[in-house]
């Protein structure tokens, strides 16, 4: 079962595995890694990463960073904190600024290489759309690189309607209230 969980130390062991699996930080879309100077795949590194990411969720006074919520994508059984593991990252931006409207969109996500093609991205996106609806976002913008077949497919599965392809990015709008059944 795919769940969105909040960053917390109970997930430190599988967070560490996940970061190692990604290898390159740049691939960890939706993790908020750009807020951290470095990310160390250890329990201490996990604690530092959580503190950094949670401190970056509010909008900055200069208006360059909008408010967002960071989630870790977990594969959980009935007792999430005991039998779950982290398989990816997702960020939900509460509003769009110029960059997000052009390229980034409301939601960014990634799944660790070892756990791809198991439906996690599609289900995590559907869950995030429900969270977006709760924030009052009726239409979410979700983007992906024009050649990112898997991400485009996940977006379309969640009801995405292609708006345009701009600067190599496919820009989709998804009606949030009708998109939670992926
Ligand atoms: C894109 C990404 C998130 C997809 O994650 P995932 O969990 O493997 O996706 P899903 O299992 O939900 O698959 C979504 C669809 O894409 C298809 N798919 C997955 N990987 C694919 C691939 N490599 N080639 C073609 N289709 C693929 C799946 O079959 C599925 O289609 P279906 O619903 O018709 O069966 C993952 O590959 C990733 O993290 N990539 C790097 C970061 C990234 O690109 N993030 C998205 C940018 S916002």
Question: C-alpha dihedral over 46, 49, 51, 57, to 10 degrees?
Answer: -140
Cα 162 to averaged position of ligand 1 atoms, centre (Å): 17
pLDDT per residue over 30-63, tens digit each?
999 988 888 999 999 999 999 999 999 999 988 7
Query: What CATH number belongs to 2-178?
Result: 3.40.630.30
Specify the pTM. 0.95
Distance 132 CA to ligand 1 centre (A): 21
Q: From the CA of 117, how far away is ligand 1's center (Å)? A: 6
Asked whether 91 lines ligand 1 (CB < 6 A), one says no
* Whole-number pLDDT of residue 62: 82
pLDDT of residue 82: 66
Q: From the CB of 169, is ligand 1 less than 6 Å away?
A: no
Average of pLDDT values for 145-156?
98
Kindly state the average pLDDT of the residues 101-129: 97
pLDDT at 180: 47
For the segment 115-144, the average pLDDT, to the nearest whole number, is: 98
- Average pLDDT estimate for 157-181: 88
Dihedral Cα 79, 81, 87, 93, nearest 10 deg: 110
The response to whether residue 122 sits with its C-beta less than 6 Å from ligand 1 reads yes
């Amino acid at each position: 079962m795919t769940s969105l969980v909040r960053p917390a130390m109970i997930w430190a062991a599988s967070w560490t595995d996940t970061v190692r699996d990604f290898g390159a930080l740049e691939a960890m879309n939706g993790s908020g890694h750009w807020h951290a100077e470095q990310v160390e795949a250890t329990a201490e590194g996990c604690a530092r990463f959580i503190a950094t990411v949670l401190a970056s969720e509010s909008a900055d006074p200069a208006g360059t960073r909008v408010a967002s919520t960071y989630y870790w994508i977990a594969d959980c059984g009935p007792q999430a904190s005991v039998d779950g593991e982290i398989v990816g990252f997702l960020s939900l931006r509460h509003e769009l600024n110029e960059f997000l409207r052009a390229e980034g969109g409301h939601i960014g996500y990634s799944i660790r290489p070892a756990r791809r093609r198991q439906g996690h991205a599609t289900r995590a996106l559907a869950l995030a759309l429900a969270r977006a609806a709760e924030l009052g976002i009726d239409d979410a913008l979700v983007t992906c690189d024009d050649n990112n077949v898997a991400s485009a497919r996940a977006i379309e599965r969640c009801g995405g309607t292609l708006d345009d392809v701009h600067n190599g990015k496919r820009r989709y709008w998804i009606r949030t209230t009708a998109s939670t059944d992926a």
